[in-house]
Structure formats: C-alpha cells, structure tokens
C-alpha cells in the first residue's frame, strides 16, 4: 500500500486527519510525528496547540509510531532548533517553539511508563536539557493576545514534575529539580495564568516521592525568603509569585492530607510574604 502524502503545516488537512483515524495506517505516521514539532513555532494557536501538540500526544500515547521515532522526537524536541531556539529573547514569537518543546518531555516520559525502561542516555539528555532550560528561559508570558498560550512556566513545571516522579532520580537530582521549581516560582515577572498551581503540583509530586529528608524539605522551603532590599518593584513581584506558589502548595497538601506535617512548614514559609505580618513586625 502506498502511503498517503502528509501536509503537517496545513491546519485544514490536520483537522481532517485527526478526525479520520481509521485511515491513519495509510500515512507515514513516524514522519508526521517529527514534522509536527516544527509547528510549535506557529503563531496560529489552533495549528500549534489544538492540532500539532495534541496530535503528537495521541500518536505517542496510542503507540502509532515506532520506539525509534519516540527517541527521535525526544532528541529533536530538546535541540538548539526547538527547546533552545533563540533562547533569551523576550516578547518575541520564538517563545512558542521553546514552550511547546518543553511540553513534549512529559509526553516522552509517559510513553516510557508503558514501555520501560527509558534508555539511560535519553533520560540523561532530557534531565539535563530541562534543568538547563529552566535557567535560560526569559519569556514568562502566559496567554498572548491573538496568538494563544505561551505558558513557558506552566509547561516547564509539567516537565519538571514528570521528571521528578521517576524512581530513578536520586536525592541530589530531586533537589536540583526542586531548585528549578523554586527559581521559576520566583521569577521577576508576574505569573497570573495558574502557573502557581502547576508549579505546586510538580513540587508536591517530588516531596511526596519521599526521597528527601524532612530537613531537606524544610531547607528548600526556607529558600523562599522575603528580600526587601535592592529593586523593590522586582522583589515585590518575585515575592508575590512565591506567595501564590506556596499558597497553592499548601492547598495541594490540604486537599491530599489535612493532617500532613508539611502543612505547618509551608504555612510558615508563606507567612514571610504576608504583607500585614511584615508591616506589623
């Protein structure tokens, strides 16, 4: 059977393709999966998000592509033309490519939950790239008018949470992932698109993995101090982000276990950002 031609950049074609799964066997799905990654740079939210990302997730979760293609997708998503594309830019459209490339990491890890083990070199590459991206991204916009979601902080939180949930992480690496979550939760840009909930869920996953001592968790929570010196405006934004994050983490634990010993520790950390407590102190 001759494979049908694919049109990965055509939103109309992709829409029909997504709706007619019975004919998928007639298409070169491995080729399509790799091609979809390049659509992450699109400023069309339907093509980028509703079609390309969603289709890639389906192709991998439904095991429509080969194991070799999964590895190719993983490596391509974290290369210089995708995850690190024009890294460091602010307020430009390049953020879409980066923000959706990092969101591919959880898709890959979900695949290997069904088909373990993940190849060690691939795991190392995903972990290193994700942690490095967390230190280099500088565009933290959430929803961009007329262009849809960028949401780099939320997508990065999902990737860090997925990495942190894996049993192969040792205590030192768990601390590195928690540090990355801390750094994103305290960026000097107002996060107002539910990033705090996504970050809190990632932190909750790591802490609940029980690979850290109580002392390590407390030390991490103590790394959220109120710093009034320096650029007051910037520090106020950072503090507000930290406050929202800690409150989200508190309620995540409250919903999970109202008797959790972590609740008092999180509340104490959040208290440092209470403007009324500080003005009365």
**pLDDT attached to residue 22:** 86
Which residues in the chain land under pLDDT 70? Answer: 1-2, 227-231, 278-281
Q: Return the pLDDT at 169.
A: 81
Q: Around Cβ 169, how many Cβ atoms within 10 Å?
A: 19
What's the pLDDT at 202?
A: 95
pLDDT value for 181: 97
Helices then strands, each counted (H, E), the chain? 15, 2
pLDDT score at 1: 41
CA proximity to 111, closest of 126, 97, 130: 126
What value, to the nearest 5°, has the Cα angle with vertex 172 and ends 170 and 178? 105
CB count within 10 Å of CB 136 equals 11
Q: Is the pTM of this model over 0.85?
A: yes
CB-CB contact of 191 with 146 (8 Å): no
**Torsion, Cα of 247, 248, 254, 259 (10° steps):** -60
3-state SS assignment for residue 260 = coil
Q: CA torsion angle for 168, 172, 178, 181 (degrees, to 10)? A: -90
pLDDT of residue 281: 44
Q: Give the integer Cα–Cα distance in Å for 95 and 138.
A: 9
117 upstream amide cis, omega within 30 of 0: yes
- For the chain, the first-to-last Cα distance in angstroms comes to 76
Distance set, CA 90 to CA 96, 155, 188, 231 (Å): 11, 17, 13, 20
């Amino acid at each position: 059977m001759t494979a049908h031609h694919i049109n990965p950049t055509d939103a109309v074609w992709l829409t029909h393709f997504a709706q007619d799964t019975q004919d998928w066997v007639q298409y070169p799905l491995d080729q399509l999966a790799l091609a979809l990654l390049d659509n992450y740079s699109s400023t069309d939210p339907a093509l980028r998000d509703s079609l390309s990302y969603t289709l890639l997730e389906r192709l991998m979760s439904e095991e429509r592509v080969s194991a070799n293609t999964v590895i190719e997708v993983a490596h391509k998503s974290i290369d210089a033309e995708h995850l690190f594309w024009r890294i460091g830019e602010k307020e430009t459209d390049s953020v879409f490519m980066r923000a959706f490339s990092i969101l591919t990491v959880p898709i890959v890890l979900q695949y290997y939950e069904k088909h373990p083990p993940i190849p060690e070199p691939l795991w190392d590459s995903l972990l290193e790239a994700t942690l490095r991206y967390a230190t280099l991204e500088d565009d933290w916009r959430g929803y961009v008018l007329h262009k849809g979601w960028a949401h780099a902080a939320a997508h990065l939180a999902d990737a860090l949470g997925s990495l942190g949930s894996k049993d192969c992480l040792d205590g030192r690496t768990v601390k590195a992932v928690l540090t990355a979550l801390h750094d994103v939760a305290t960026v000097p840009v107002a996060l107002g698109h539910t990033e705090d909930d996504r970050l809190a869920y990632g932190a909750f996953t790591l802490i609940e993995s029980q690979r850290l001592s109580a002392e390590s968790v407390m030390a991490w929570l103590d790394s959220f101090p109120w710093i009034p010196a320096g650029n007051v405006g910037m520090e106020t934004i950072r503090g507000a982000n930290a406050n929202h994050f800690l409150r989200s983490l508190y309620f995540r634990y409250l919903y999970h276990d109202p008797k959790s010993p972590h609740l008092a520790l999180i509340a104490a950390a959040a208290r440092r950002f209470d403007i009324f407590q500080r003005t009365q102190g």
